[in-house]
Amino acid sequence: MDKFYITTPIYYVNSSAHIGHAYTNIACDCAARFNRINGKDVFFLTGTDEHGEKIKKAAQAQGKDPLSFVDAVSANFLNLWKILDISYDDFIRTTQQRHKNVVRKILIDLYDKGDIYKSQYKGFYCMPCESFWTETQVKEAGGCPECKRDVEEIVEENFFFKLSKYEQWLKDYLKENPDFIKPKTRYNEVIGFLENNKLEDLCITRPKQRVSWGIEFPLDNNYVVYVWFDALINYISAIGFGQGDKFDKIWPADVHMMAKDIIRHHAIFWPIMLKACGISLPKLVFAHGWWKIDEEKMSKSLGNIVNPIELGNEFGIDALRYFLMREIPLGVDGNFSRSSLIQRINSDLANDLGNLVFRVLNMADKYFQADINSIENKDIPNEFSSFVDSQFNDQYIYHMQALEFSCALEKIWSFISVMNKYIEDTKPWNLKKEGKIEELKHFIWSLIQGIRIVAVYIYPFMPQISRKILKNRLNCDDVWQSLVDSKNREGSVLKWACSWLPNGFLAEYKTDKKTPLFPRIDVS
Ligand code: MSP
């Protein structure tokens, strides 16, 4: 079976998770769930980045020692992922021994190869961003180029990693592999950066007297490892680098997902670290955009964060997942507002999908509850034909593989619109009046088939709603099971579950209308 390895960034534990973090993990979850039902052996990794002075300070501010502080905050992330239905396979914490061992091994390796050396470092340091800057950068920005705060001038002995030695190699690699970084704008940004800047060697240690909360540098115990060098290694430590089988089966990553703020770490430092260690490169580094509030990036320091748990409680987790994946294409920025969330819920979910399911199940109940399955004409209505063929299936797969989630959803919603229009145009109440019972039955049965197909396509985005439709509303337990068991199955279940007459399909439709899937949100 083909494998698919996808990673999220590992999140800092100095602040609580917000909708921006949730966005990355939901996007990765959609990709992971899609690939599972499409027959891949998926490994989905997330985790927390737990070292560095910022984190120690945050612990101190709460009167805690760093370890109990990071234990508590990483537990919050785990809890959030559970609430948001994130189907990760492993959760790595940089304070875990399995991670520290690999970081040490890599450093010793690189030292032995001559890629690490000791030298004097002069620079301007920004404590909150944990970044060093050159004098010119600080002058141009009037402070830290990232957060604009004041910086501190520092001169100290440190260890360096020879990034510059690999500069030409990286340039050549990127030229030859234009699909390594996506979207294109980010690829161009990285290429532009490399053309306009000479790569400086990377300072990869911090003296313990200044930064104590970190992995001890294996070559000199007066130092700890720079957090970014430590953090990037999570992608290989989590899957057992250096221990054989598991690593060889899973690596290289198929997608490293993150927001654009950390593209350079992933597209410059990380490939060079891997190259220097003789490890193959990930297939794709994908940087999505930022969720902003009033055109400002959402962040704890700006005090404009939106809490995903509160939103989920208010509107439902699947509605939130849908909104985030549908509202903006992965890769561009979006402005978050409650009103656009409510608008999406009311129009796409309550009106289009929710109403369709409710109306069809009502009609099925009213006219034929008992013999909805005793249908003779099983033809696809003409109106549906371009939505239940293999071309449609292929297009859906194409968009999902390309991480074009909003396009995939648009396609599904075009089928939903067609089904709603089919109801308007057919006027089933007239068929009933005119005694065209076979036609009426075919009409309702076809809509139920269509709803089953839609419920499969939306599974990566809205797993709970997909379950409610398939199991609780339509009695299609076998289709639902095929989705959740896809981990243990050979091959894709997608084509089967989305075909008009799935071979070996067991369900006898037993419709149950229950309550609406999505209550309308009152905006008055
Ligand atoms: N610890 C580093 C990552 C190390 S990966 C080896 C880090 N952590 S972070 O907590 O700051 O998380 C940054 C990531 O959170 C972004 O790359 C993105 O995935 C997500 N987001 C944080 N704010 C966001 C928005 N406002 N909008 C979209 N994504 C956001 O950087």
The pLDDT tens digits along the chain (524 residues) read 799 999 999 999 987 789 999 999 999 999 999 999 999 999 999 999 999 988 998 899 999 999 999 999 999 999 999 999 999 999 999 999 999 999 999 999 999 999 999 999 888 988 777 777 878 889 889 999 888 899 999 889 999 999 999 999 999 999 999 999 999 999 999 999 999 999 999 999 999 988 889 999 999 999 999 999 999 999 999 999 999 899 999 999 999 999 999 999 999 999 999 999 999 999 999 999 999 987 787 777 777 888 999 999 999 999 999 999 999 999 999 999 999 999 999 999 999 999 999 999 989 888 876 467 788 899 999 999 999 999 999 999 999 999 999 999 999 999 999 999 999 999 999 998 999 989 999 999 999 999 999 999 999 999 999 999 999 889 899 999 999 998 777 778 999 999 998 887 766 777 776 678 888 888 76
- Confidence at residue 316, expressed as pLDDT on a 0 to 100 scale: 96
Index of the ligand 1 atom closest to the CA of residue 289? 28
- Taking the centre of ligand 1 as the mean of its atom positions, its distance from the CA of residue 345, in whole angstroms, is 26
- Taking the centre of ligand 1 as the mean of its atom positions, its distance from the CA of residue 19, in whole angstroms, is 11
Does the beta carbon of 12 sit less than 6 angstroms from any atom of ligand 1? Answer: yes
Which candidate, 442, 465, 460, places its Cα nearest to that of 352? Answer: 465
The Cα 388–Cα 383 span in angstroms is: 10
Backbone phi, then psi, for 15, in 5-degree steps?
-145, 170
- Taking the centre of ligand 1 as the mean of its atom positions, its distance from the CA of residue 23, in whole angstroms, is 10
Question: Nearest residue CA, atom 8 of ligand 1?
Answer: 11
Look at phi and psi of residue 198 and say left if phi exceeds 0, alpha if psi is from -120 to 50, else beta: beta
- Strands in 334-335's sheet, in edge-to-edge order, are 296-297, 291-293, 334-335
Does the beta carbon of 11 sit less than 6 angstroms from any atom of ligand 1? Answer: yes
DSSP state for residue 330 in the 8-state scheme:
B
pTM: 0.94
- The answer to whether 492 touches 37, Cβ cutoff 8 Å, is yes
- Taking the centre of ligand 1 as the mean of its atom positions, its distance from the CA of residue 10, in whole angstroms, is 8
Does the beta carbon of 466 sit less than 6 angstroms from any atom of ligand 1? Answer: no
Q: Which of 6, 11, 186, 257 to mutate to test the pocket of ligand 1 (most atoms within 8 A of CB)?
A: 11
Place of tokens 């593209």: 263
Q: DSSP E strands: which ranges in 173-270?
A: 181-182, 202-203, 205-207, 223-225, 255-259
Does the beta carbon of 290 sit less than 6 angstroms from any atom of ligand 1? Answer: yes
